[in-house]
Amino acid sequence: MSNRASSQPSQPQGQETDMKFSEIVKVLEAIEATTQRTTMAKLLAHLLRKCPPQVIDKVIYFILGDLRPSWEGIELGVGERLTMRALSYASGIPLKQIEELYKKLGDLGEVAKRVIAMKQQKAAQQGTILAFLQSGKQVQRELTIGRVYDTLMQIAKATGEGAMDLKVKLLASLFSDAKPEEAKYIARFVVGRLRLGIADMTILDALATVFKVRREDLEKAYHVYPDLGYIAKLLAEKGPQALQEIKVTPGIPVQPMLAERLSSASEILAKLGGVALCEYKYDGERAQIHRTKDGKIKIFSRRLEDLTHAYPDVVKYVEEAIKAREYIVEGEIVCYDPDTGEFRPFQELMHRRRKHNITEAMKEYPVKLFLFDIIYVDGQDLTNLPLIDRRRRLVEVFTPTENVEIARWRILDSVEEVEKFFHEAISQECEGLVCKSVKMDAIYEMGSRGWLWIKYKRDYRSELTDTLDLVVVGAFYGRGRRAGKYGALLMAAYDPDTDMFYTVCKVGSGFTDEDLVKLQQLLEPYKIPHKHPRVVSKLEPDVWFVPAIVLEIVGAEITLSPLHTCAMNMVKPGFGLAIRFPRFTGRYRLDKKPEQATTVKEIYEMYLRQRKIKIAEAKA
Ligand code: ATP
């Protein structure tokens, strides 16, 4: 068997248009070793500053662990087994031996590093290197990011008959030329476990520093066109003024507008100026639906994944219901019981996420779509129009059908009416209401959680605190029945201003035995030997994780705590905020990125509201 796979992409070489892969690897190693967010940011900025414009996008995609923005849905289609086969192919070391090593080390990156080191040692012993050098040939071609990226892209594109073999060969071609530490990151990338914990916001910070652009301008562009590789390349090639070229475009998802929360109808009406467009808050999956000029429909999730394959029925429904050439609309996809017509809870929709047997899933889990906004129609960006005008446009292009309706809504100006409508929504299996501003400045604010939309949910009323979506950043081993498993998880809230995660509770209840097993599996790839640089914690858990997994937590109340770092010093010097009696609700928020978790500011505001209620109760 040849050590070098035959198919090698031809890549631009040289320092100006490409970058040595080893330079990137050096920075990744340093990032992995640091526990300081500032060091991580400096290292990133240093790397991006050195990147030639031709490959800056490739570098960014690589460190984010993707080949393209995630909404393009490009998958490598390479699993652990295939990676091990490629390693065996490149090194001549038997697959069995590699598999054993994997069992022992549990990290394919480390396996790749060792296997390639072993290969090099063997080659040195056999004098191959010397022989090659003497004959004037090079044993290895130094890897560049251009070549690594383009080869990975070829791997992703390989489909059909013989695709697996081709993928193995292409990957082996990279391993053949990789140094051990380069092989480590390539292997981790291909199995989706780069786990550097670098988020889009972290990259945005670095880009703002490197290209001297205002963070707000950059963020605005990113909300309209969430593709960091594209934005970085635009900046590197054309300079900051090119950001103005970025426009809302059907086919490219925009960052969705989000809602704030309040716990009473009177507060909501007061906040919205006495009148609001109140809508049912359906308990489903948010869908941003695009129709491009060429008639293609695409459906994006709340975290901007392409979900079109999961909802072929919705594609058909919108084609029937919306009459416009090009558009972007938003709505909630809700699952219903075909026998009773009643809505089913959000979790049931996860059955639609499968790759195969979609037709079956469509029958078992039929859905309806409730539209609530329109962002773009036939060449016109509507994001700067007030909600009332957007609604008018939506009604103009839309005809109700059996499966598509406009979210049930009313314009209300009295607390009693809002309360009544809220109860009506609850009785219809909805979560409550989303109350929206009808003022002239109520534009569609991409990517921001503001007071133009306010959610009013049932949980706010029954418990002192609403459910929170928190990020797992650490774990403590259990005892007794939970020996060997995680007994409690260290949970954190997100702060978009600092791009850091602050701990807010240790949660040990609400987990079933199945949850404990599932969590262990879910968290395993994110284990790291030290605190992640984007986590601020006073507690030292037994295991640290890269912030990645979001869980829904409910608690009895929010209290001051010297142990937790969430909202530290904001209420009282030396104290942060903590959730008392936290419990896992059973809801895995895998539809949320860690940066979409509940924010420190939200928890702080909940605390203030709770305190206000307590004071009012004490007075009453
Ligand atoms: P939650 O965890 O409460 O669902 P979230 O953080 O996912 O909230 P929010 O923006 O805070 O998102 O709440 C609004 C969500 O409610 C939207 O993302 C959407 O999925 C859903 N929703 C249901 N009905 C409506 C509606 N009529 N208008 C807007 N959003 C709606």
Could you report the per-residue pLDDT of 92-145, keeping only the tens digit for each? 999 999 999 999 998 899 999 999 999 988 888 776 655 555 554 555 689 999
259 lines ligand 1 (CB under 6 A): yes
Q: How far is the CA of 286 from the centre of ligand 1 (A)?
A: 7
302 lines ligand 1 (CB under 6 A): yes
Confidence band of 7 (pLDDT split at 50, 70, 90): very low
Q: For 586-596, what is the mean pLDDT?
A: 91
Q: Which residue has the higher pLDDT, 136 or 293?
A: 293
- Ligand 1: which residue has its CA nearest to atom 31? 281
Asked if residue 377 lies in contact with residue 393, where contact means CB atoms within 8 angstroms, the answer is: yes
Q: Does the beta carbon of 286 lie inside 6 Å of ligand 1? A: yes
pLDDT digits (tens, 9 = 90+) for 356-412: 888 999 998 999 999 999 999 999 999 999 999 999 999 999 999 999 999 999 999
Q: How confident is the model at residue 619 (pLDDT cuts 50, 70, 90)?
A: low
**pLDDT at 490 > cutoff 60:** yes
For residues 275 and 438, the answer to whether their CB atoms sit within 8 Å is yes
* CA–centroid distance, residue 369 to ligand 1 (Å): 14
Lowest mean pLDDT among 330-334, 394-398, 558-562: 558-562
Q: Residue 163: is its pLDDT beyond 60?
A: yes
The per-residue pLDDT for 459 is 60
Q: In this predicted model, what pLDDT tens digit does every residue of 417-438 receive, in sequence order? A: 999 999 889 878 888 999 999 9
Confirm or reject: Cβ of 279 under 6 Å from ligand 1: yes
Q: 281 CA to middle of ligand 1, Å?
A: 7
**pLDDT-wise least confident of 6-15, 279-288, 598-607:** 6-15
Which residue type is seen at 603?
I
Taking the CA of residue 591 as reference, the ligand 1 atom at the shortest distance is: 7
Cβ neighbours, 10 Å, residue 279: 23
Q: Using the predicted structure, report yes or no on whether residue 1 has a pLDDT greater than 50.
A: no
Ligand 1: does its nearest atom lie under 6 Å from the Cβ of 281? Answer: yes
* Number of C-beta neighbours around residue 79 at 10 A: 13
Query: How much distance in Å is there from the Cα of 184 to the middle of ligand 1?
Result: 40
Nearest-CA residue for ligand 1 atom 4 is 283
Q: Average of pLDDT values for 312-321?
A: 97
Pick the residue whose CA is nearest to atom 11 on ligand 1. 259
Beta carbon of 346 within 6 Å of any ligand 1 atom: no
Contact 375, 383 (CB under 8 A): yes
What pLDDT is recorded for position 408?
97
Q: Which residues are catalytic?
A: 281
Please give the Cα distance from 441 to 445 (Å, whole number). Answer: 10
Q: Where residue 80 falls among pLDDT bands split at 50, 70, 90? A: very high
- Using the mean position of ligand 1's atoms as its centre, give its distance from the Cα of residue 258 in Å: 7
The band of 18, judged by pLDDT with boundaries at 50, 70 and 90, is very high
Q: Is the pLDDT of residue 463 over 60?
A: no
Give dist(CA 340, CA 79) in Å, integer. Answer: 42
- Specify the pairing of strand 380-381 against strand 367-377: antiparallel
* Gap from CA of 66 to ligand 1 centroid (Å): 27
pLDDT for residue 178: 96
Mean pLDDT, the chain, rounded, equals: 90
Q: Is the pLDDT of residue 15 over 70?
A: no
In the predicted structure, residue 185 carries a pLDDT above the cut 80: yes
Report pLDDT for 3: 41
The pLDDT of residue 279: 98
Distance CA 57, CA 238 (A): 14
Which of the listed residues 261, 278, 282, 449 should we mutate to test ligand 1's pocket, taking the one with most ligand atoms within 8 A of CB?
A: 282
Q: How far apart are CA 491 and CA 471, in angstroms?
A: 5
- The yes-or-no verdict on residue 482 having pLDDT over 70 is yes
Distance 401 CA to ligand 1 centre (A): 23
Per-residue pLDDT, averaged over 20-25, amounts to 97
Based on the number of CB atoms within 10 Å of its own CB, is 135 exposed (0-12), middle (13-18) or buried (19 or more)? Answer: exposed
Of residues 446 and 572, the one with the higher pLDDT is: 446
Q: Which domains does the chain have, with CATH numbers?
A: 4-65+197-245 (no CATH), 80-190 (1.10.3260.10), 258-456 (3.30.470.30), 468-619 (2.40.50.140)
What pLDDT was estimated at residue 556?
78
Is 407 a pocket residue for ligand 1 (Cβ < 6 Å)?
yes
Q: Which atom of ligand 1 is nearest to the CA of 453?
A: 29
Q: What is the pLDDT of residue 11?
A: 39
Q: Which atom of ligand 1 is nearest to the CA of 592?
A: 7
Buried b (16+ CB within 10 A) or exposed e, 418-448: bbebbeebbeebbbbbbbbbbeeebbbbbee
Q: What distance in Å separates the CA atoms of residue 147 and residue 151, rounded to the nearest whole number?
A: 6
Following DSSP, what letter does each residue of 112-126 receive, concatenated? HHHHHHHHHHHHHHT
3-class secondary structure, 520: helix
DSSP E strands, 409-556: 409-412, 432-437, 449-457, 468-477, 486-495, 500-507, 527-528, 535-536, 543-545, 550-554
Average pLDDT in the 306-323 region?
Answer: 96
The residue whose CA has the least distance to atom 16 of ligand 1 is 281
pLDDT at 173 over 50: yes
The ligand 1 atom nearest the CA atom of 259? 10
